[in-house]
Amino acid sequence: MSSRAQYMPLDFQRVSPEEQQTRSQQFRQQMSTRRTVRMFSPEPVPYVLIENAVATAATAPSGANQQPWTFVVVSSPDVKRQIRQAAEAEERESYEHRMSAEWLDALAHLGTDWHKPHLEDAPYLIVVFRQAYGLERDADGTEKKIKHYYSEESVGIAVGMLLCSLHLAGLATLTHTPSPMAFLTEILKRPSNERPYVLIPVGYPAPDATVPVITKKPLESVLVRVE
Ligand code: IYR
């Protein structure tokens, strides 16, 4: 153990076996009802739900505990409009020219296209940035780059926790990755070490929202037991 490590007692509450099963079953059931939603109501959402979700995501494990993430929460109609316009321009180009026939075919059952009205309809957009490296200033003011480890995996885990929190709070989400996403860095004026990771509209579904008919793989095909 490195001499720089400092340890303290773990705060860990044991839960009875019955309670363990109840909680795990309940979480499984609740998460099984999550759907990716593309039709949002403009109805406002209590900000505390967004804040709690980001605070939860920020507890995620990360490489060397570097916490290589920034969550930008957008509710400004003007900024949402800029994001929609830029996303639609990129997505239109992608759907019409950049995506292969194979890719378009893989997506066909979702019924998506380049129109992204949800980027303005949803009351909040959470734009998650991955810090490819850290930026610190020396005592003399010069900028220093700090290497980050496993930033892709770390941000992915944090986003998973964010989605769980928002779902359990009774909100709908969409994991949207317009490609390329550099416009988000510009519009949101993020520093040079941050890369857009995912754009998440959050809100209540539109009253008449529909979702594609899809199924999840059966457990037997994704769970392999080695005893
Ligand atoms: N980014 C595009 C296309 C798209 C790609 C995948 I992979 C999806 O699972 C869904 C959509 C869009 O958002 O429409």
pTM tops 0.75: yes
Residue listed under structure tokens 């999550």: 34
178 CB within 6 A, ligand 1: yes
CB 111 within 8 Å of CB 95: no
Backbone angles phi, psi at 212, to 5 degrees: -65, 150
Q: Name, in order, each residue with C-beta under 8 angstroms of 27's C-beta and a sequence gap of 6 or more.
A: none
Ligand 1 nearest-atom number relative to CA 114: 14
**Where in the chain are the domains?**
37-205
91 CB within 6 A, ligand 1: yes
Of 35, 112, 181, best ligand 1 pocket probe by most atoms within 8 Å of the beta carbon? 112
Predicted pLDDT of residue 1? 59
Of 102, 177, 183, best ligand 1 pocket probe by most atoms within 8 Å of the beta carbon? 177
Q: Give me 157's structure tokens.
A: 């885990």
Euclidean distance between CA atoms 69 and 53, whole angstroms = 14
Q: 222: CA distance to ligand 1 center in Å?
A: 23
Q: 124: CA distance to ligand 1 center in Å?
A: 20
Q: CATH code for 37-205? A: 3.40.109.10
Task: Tell me which residue has its CA closest to atom 1 in ligand 1.
Answer: 178
Omega before 180 within 30 of 0, i.e. cis = yes
- Which tens digit of pLDDT belongs to each residue from 69-119? 999 999 999 999 999 999 999 999 999 999 999 999 999 999 999 999 999
179 CB within 6 A, ligand 1: yes
- Which tens digit of pLDDT belongs to each residue from 166-223? 999 999 999 999 999 999 999 999 999 999 999 999 999 999 999 999 999 999 999 9
